[in-house]
Amino acid sequence: MRRIVIKIGSSSLTGECGGLDRERVRFYAKEISRLADAGFKPLVVTSGAVAAGFRAIGYPHRPRLLREKQAAAAVGQGLLMKEYAEAFAEHDRIVAQLLLTRSDLSDRRRMQNALAAVEELLVRGVVPVINENDTVAVDELKFGDNDTLSALVAALVKAEQLVIATDTDGLYTDDPRRNPAARKIERVGSIDDGLFRMAGGSGSAVGTGGMRSKLEAARIAVLAGIEVFVGRVAAPGDLELAVSGRGKGTYFEATGSSMSAKKRWIGFHSLPKGAVDVDDGAAKAITEGGKSLLPAGVRGVDGDFHPGDVVEVRHAGRIIGRGVVNYEAAQLRAAAGLSSEEVKRRFDVARIEVIHRDEWVAFETLNVRGGLVP
């Protein structure tokens, strides 16, 4: 059965004063239940805990300090899940709460445990409702926003589609609220720098993610082989239209292919411990030629990492992929630019490859230009 991840933002769930809008929660529960009745396996990634809780805790406006956000989330998460549970119960469905932090997915064992729990919930017909654990998350281990979390969850469960519900009907060439000549982009074949220049900031006082964050999420998902829809889900039937390819928004075509669990972890869930800069020949060999990265192609090393850590690989200032490194950082600095034979003579390394091709994920679409279909 098709797995669909639906991301619902704060602005889609809350009223003008910041509290939860019960009717909006009931609307999404009904739409998602209709998908489940049609044979889909829906997973919900939801925002709204901070937005739901800050009024209840006595803040006059959305808090900005970390401790205030954590307190508001601690209150709001219970309110949020209560509404979800009651709304889905109207359709004879049970929901399950999963609170995640970035470190839960960056640690392979914890990630596998989370996946096992989700798999069992789906088998039992339960709708997982997933949110970031804002109460304990710290800035350096946060997803950034729930758009990113939704893409990582979609990659984790091998979803066929990610639906990011927003209050606009897709991506435009400019802000349609200010420029009436702005054109809607129906489909995106590749995500390039031009798209990000179009994207602005957050469009809501109660949300954290704008179109730019949705593009970042889409880039993660399409690299994992998942089609993405970003658009409006506000009226009955909108969600079914989005899933069927006729939605009120923009579709992003999947550019990647199915990956092993290990490669999905390397490419999307791991937290890189450093970076390696490579020359033109090495960049071409590892992104196009299916080759491993050798010391001769290394031109620079950043960070303090050890064998088995994940590092980013950069070329001309751009991140072109991630892989599991076989060298310590200091060792690689000394071996950079040397031939394989010279490295064998001078260093005691278990594997000559800096990153073996079997432990490498290329972000090929980062270097692709064009692909817009207005």
Judge whether 214 is annotated as a binding position. Answer: yes
CA-closest candidate to residue 327, choices 312, 308, 343: 308
The response to whether 211 counts as a known ligand-binding position is: yes
> In angstroms, rounded to a whole number, what is the distance separating the alpha carbons of residues 328 and 330?
6
| DSSP secondary structure string for all residues of 264-318 | HIIIII----EEEEE-HHHHHHHHTS-PPB-GGGEEEEEE---TT-EEEEEETTE
Residue 332 near residue 301 (C-beta atoms within 8 A) = yes
For 352, counting Cβ atoms within 10 Å of its Cβ (0-12 exposed, 13-18 middle, 19+ buried), the class is: middle
User: Which among 252, 226, 240, 40 has a CA at the least distance from the CA of 125?
Assistant: 40
Asked if 282 contacts 313 with a C-beta cutoff of 8 angstroms, the reply is no
| 167 labelled ligand-binding | yes
How far apart (Å, rounded) are the C-alpha atoms in residues 351 and 244? 48
Hey, what are 21's tokens?
A: 């809008």
Is 209 marked within a binding site?
Answer: yes
Q: Are 276 and 266 in contact (CB under 8 A)?
A: no
358 marked among binding-site residues: no
47 is in an annotated binding site: yes
**174 among annotated binding-site residues:** no
Residue 208 annotated as lining a ligand binding site: yes
Annotated binding residues for ATP, as ranges? 7, 166-167, 208-214
Residue ranges for the known binding site are 7, 47, 134, 146, 166-167, 208-214
Show binding-site residues for substrate.
47, 134, 146
